[in-house]
Structure 1
Amino acid sequence: MTASPDPAEPAAPEPARPDPALRLLWRHVVAEDEQPRRGPRQRLSVDDVVDAAIAMADAEGLAGVSMRGLAQRLGLAPMSLYTYVPGRNELVALMVDQVLARRELPPLPDGLRARLETVARVHHAEALAHPWLLDVTGIRPWLGPGAADRYEWQLSAVEGVGLDDVEMDQTVALLVGFASSIAHAEHEKRRAERESGQSELAWWEANAEELGRVMSGREYPLAGRVGQAAGEAYQAASDPARELEFGLARIVDGVLALLATRS
């Protein structure tokens, strides 16, 4: 006699299945007869769909990319779009990988400092060109050919310098993370200027007198001195370009100092 399952016990999780996005990501290297086919012959390619989504994101931000809006842009019935990509998360993964794959990576220079700086600068430039890349969250880190090639190139910058494998990964993550933070600051500065219709310098000039009134009676000797010096140097409240140069130099200094202790 078979015992009935105990209703108090949680159901066993379903076995994991291969993600359908993987074959789409690697569609250019998967044999044609192995690629999934859905319905009648399609008039567009997956590349066409992804390129249109990238153009939407570049113009309107990632939040402006919807399956319905993309279908309208392509002249498709909304449900027809799902014959190309399973859903929006998969679409975003394809968009990211397509951007990475189409970036021509420069040869890495000879010096370690220059190689580390190049890794950060390439990512920074990409985030400036496609601001929506900084908003990609909540999707699994699918590994497509663009991401795989990029990671291999980044790791080659630190191969054989004296770091172990985990430290190599962490060094790349540190450089990319810092470059992303600077690009984010630059986009936020530009967004504030667009929304206010004023440059940072114009805003501060217009509000300096009022700030002096509301802050009267409170002393900020350090903030006042440093803020004035920075403002005069930047002609603004901040200067992300200078922050990139200063911060990147200090990160590379730290990596070189770590390696010097092991030589």
Structure 2
Amino acid sequence: MDEGRLYELLWGTPSGPRRGPRPTLTLDAIARAGIAIADADGLEGLTMQRVAESLAVTKMALYRYVPGKAELVALMLETAMGEPPPPRAGADWRGQLDDWTRQMFDRFRRHPWAHAATIAPRVPGPHELAWLERVVAALAGTGLTGGEQMDVAVLLIGHARNLAQHSAAGTAPAQGREAGLATLLRGREDRFPALDVALRSAAAEAAGDQALDFGLARILDGIQALITTRRPT
């Protein structure tokens, strides 16, 4: 990956290719063409050739705008995540982070390929930093350190991304886990009586559909407890 070129693509104001004929494409159009392909076929199905064909240009013409697939995926991620929505009026830090995480979950659910695109170190774009800014701003004045504020963002992103990945696969994590355990326990209930009772209760409560709500509430409870310890008594 050409990190210098990627930085320019994400943070600069390039108007088009560096050389050659007058530009006929925009980076936004290229990114959205890539998103359409990745949404349908994943990153494995994304190629520069397919993007070029969808835009009715040659692959060599596309390379004049974007030097390779890695840079293309970075542009796609920046476009797919977009600017974070503004915080709800009057919401406290907990309400803001609850809404933030649900919005993040929605982005990852709509674009399953984004999970793989965000697990390795990379140059973040302005939209990605805007999402991080929202978390840090919500926690300003709570007593958490700057490092802790950013760690909260990482924790919430992980929760949203993990659940969205399972959602894209068609199974909530708890549902898949409980179905597998129920199969293993069949005929062995006497050996694992407490687990058998818990699984029956979970099935009756449809707990598998509440993974986002339950996990998010517990994460925010933990953050609330930490904030409480930082406030003078």
Q: Is 2:8–2:14's contact at 8 Å kept on the other side of the alignment?
A: no
Number of the residue aligned with 2:229: 261
Secondary structure of 1:41's aligned partner: coil
Which stretches in structure 2 are left out of the alignment for 5+ residues? none
From the CA coordinates, give the structure whose radius of gyration is larger.
1
Task: Evaluate the alpha carbon distance shift between residue 43 and residue 60 of structure 1 in structure 2; reply closer, same or farther with a 3 A threshold.
Answer: same
Task: Evaluate the alpha carbon distance shift between residue 171 and residue 23 of structure 1 in structure 2; reply closer, same or farther with a 3 A threshold.
Answer: same
TM-score by length of 2: 0.84
Q: Is the counterpart of residue 226 in structure 1 residue 198 in structure 2?
A: yes
Number of the residue aligned with 1:179: 160
Q: Is 1:100–1:146's contact at 8 Å kept on the other side of the alignment?
A: yes
Measure, in 2, the Cα distance between the counterparts of 1:156 and 1:172.
11
Letter in 1 for 2:129: A
Number of the residue aligned with 1:154: 135
Letter in 1 for 2:187: S
Which stretches in structure 1 are left out of the alignment for 5+ residues? 1-16, 192-198
1:28-107 correspondence to structure 2 within 5 Å:
30=13, 37-102=18-83, 104-107=85-88
TM-score by length of 1: 0.75
Letter in 1 for 2:139: V
Alignment deviations for residues 93-135 of structure 1 (CA, whole Å, 9 cap, x no partner): 1111112235544446432221221221111111112111112
Task: Evaluate the alpha carbon distance shift between residue 96 and residue 108 of structure 1 in structure 2; reply closer, same or farther with a 3 A threshold.
Answer: farther
- 1:138, distance to aligned residue in structure 2 (A): 6.8
Q: Is the counterpart of residue 114 in structure 1 residue 114 in structure 2?
A: no
Letter in 2 for 1:231: A
- 1:65, distance to aligned residue in structure 2 (A): 1.0
Measure, in 2, the Cα distance between the counterparts of 1:119 and 1:103.
8
Letter in 2 for 1:50: A
Q: Percent identity?
A: 33
Q: Is 1:182–1:244's contact at 8 Å kept on the other side of the alignment?
A: yes
For residue 126 of structure 2, the aligned residue among 142, 145, 162 is 145
Count of residues in correspondence between the two structures: 224
Q: Is 2:135–2:150's contact at 8 Å kept on the other side of the alignment?
A: no
Task: Evaluate the alpha carbon distance shift between residue 69 and residue 127 of structure 1 in structure 2; reply closer, same or farther with a 3 A threshold.
Answer: same
- 1:189, distance to aligned residue in structure 2 (A): 2.7
Q: Is the counterpart of residue 26 in structure 1 residue 11 in structure 2?
A: yes
- 1:154, distance to aligned residue in structure 2 (A): 2.2
Q: Is 1:101–1:145's contact at 8 Å kept on the other side of the alignment?
A: no
| Runs of 4+ with deviation above 6 angstroms | none
Alignment deviations for residues 64-106 of structure 1 (CA, whole Å, 9 cap, x no partner): 2111111121222222211110100000111111122355444
Measure, in 2, the Cα distance between the counterparts of 1:116 and 1:37.
41
Secondary structure of 2:169's aligned partner: helix
- 1:253, distance to aligned residue in structure 2 (A): 0.9
Alignment deviations for residues 115-163 of structure 1 (CA, whole Å, 9 cap, x no partner): 2212211111111121111121575421222112222122111111111
Aligned Cα root-mean-square deviation (Å): 2.8
Measure, in 1, the Cα distance between the counterparts of 2:133 and 2:188.
57
Secondary structure of 2:170's aligned partner: helix
Measure, in 1, the Cα distance between the counterparts of 2:152 and 2:145.
10
